[in-house]
Structure 1
Amino acid sequence: MTVVNLTPSDEFEFKPGQGQVLLLACGALAREIVDLIERNRWSGFDLQCLPAKWHNTPDKIVPALREKITAAKGSYASIYVLYGDCGTGGQLDALLQEEGIERIDGPHCYAFFSGNAEFDRHAEDDVTSFFLTDYLARHFDKLIWSGLGLDRHPELLPLYFGNYRKIVFLAQTRDEELAKKAMAAARKLGLGYEYRFTGYGELETGLKSRAT
Structure 2
Amino acid sequence: MNENEAPLPDPATLTESGLAARGEGRILLIACGALAHEILALKRLNGWDHMDLHCLPAKLHLNPDRITPEVEKAVTERRADYSRVFVVYADCGTGGRLQARCADLGVEMVAGPHCYAFFEGVERFAAHDDEITAFYLTDFLVRQFDAFVWRPMGLDRHPELRDMIFGNYTKLVYQAQTRDPALEAKARDCAARLGLDYEYRFTGYGDLATVLAREATAS
Partner of residue 142, structure 2: 137
Partner of residue 94, structure 1: 100
SS at match of 2:98: helix
TM norm structure 1: 0.95
Give the distance between the partners of 2:93 and 2:130, measured in 1 at CA: 22
Instruction: Give the conservation status (yes or no) of the 8 Å contact 1:5–1:31.
Output: no
Partner of residue 9, structure 1: 16
Stretch moving more, 38-47 or 5-14: 5-14
Q: In the TM superposition, what is the alpha-carbon distance from 1:179 to its structure 2 partner?
A: 0.3
Partner of residue 111, structure 2: 105
Give the distance between the partners of 1:50 and 1:74, measured in 2 at CA: 18
- Residue 210 of structure 1 pairs with residue 215 of structure 2: yes
What is the RMSD of the two structures over their aligned residues, measured on CA atoms? 1.3
Partner of residue 50, structure 1: 56
| Runs of 5+ unmatched residues, structure 1 | none
Q: In the TM superposition, what is the alpha-carbon distance from 1:13 to its structure 2 partner?
A: 2.1
Q: In the TM superposition, what is the alpha-carbon distance from 1:30 to its structure 2 partner?
A: 0.5
- Residue 76 of structure 1 pairs with residue 82 of structure 2: yes
Give the distance between the partners of 2:73 and 2:24, measured in 1 at CA: 22
Give the distance between the partners of 2:79 and 2:148, measured in 1 at CA: 32
Give, as a single letter, the amino acid of the residue that structure 2 aligns with 1:103: M
TM norm structure 2: 0.92
- Residue 61 of structure 1 pairs with residue 67 of structure 2: yes
Give the distance between the partners of 2:81 and 2:131, measured in 1 at CA: 42
Partner of residue 33, structure 2: 27
Instruction: Give the conservation status (yes or no) of the 8 Å contact 2:137–2:173.
Output: yes
Give the distance between the partners of 2:91 and 2:159, measured in 1 at CA: 29
Give, as a single letter, the amino acid of the residue that structure 2 aligns with 1:180: A
Give the distance between the partners of 1:141 and 1:6, measured in 2 at CA: 12
Partner of residue 199, structure 1: 204
Give the distance between the partners of 1:81 and 1:169, measured in 2 at CA: 25
Partner of residue 181, structure 2: 176
Q: In the TM superposition, what is the alpha-carbon distance from 1:62 to its structure 2 partner?
A: 1.1
Q: In the TM superposition, what is the alpha-carbon distance from 1:14 to its structure 2 partner?
A: 4.0
Say how many residue pairs are matched.
210
C-alpha offsets along residues 63-116 of structure 1, whole Å, 9 cap, x if unaligned? 111111111232211111111111112110111111111101111000110011
Q: Which runs of 4+ in 1 moved over 3 A?
A: none
SS at match of 1:24: strand
C-alpha offsets along residues 105-136 of structure 1, whole Å, 9 cap, x if unaligned? 111000110011110111x1222000010001
Give the distance between the partners of 1:77 and 1:101, measured in 2 at CA: 11
Correspondence for 1:165 among 163, 170, 179? 170
Give the distance between the partners of 2:58 and 2:149, measured in 1 at CA: 11
Give, as a single letter, the amino acid of the residue that structure 2 aligns with 1:192: D
Stretch moving more, 93-102 or 151-160: 151-160
Give the distance between the partners of 2:38 and 2:165, measured in 1 at CA: 28
Instruction: Give the conservation status (yes or no) of the 8 Å contact 2:11–2:144.
Output: no
More helix by share: 2
Give, as a single letter, the amino acid of the residue that structure 2 aligns with 1:29: L
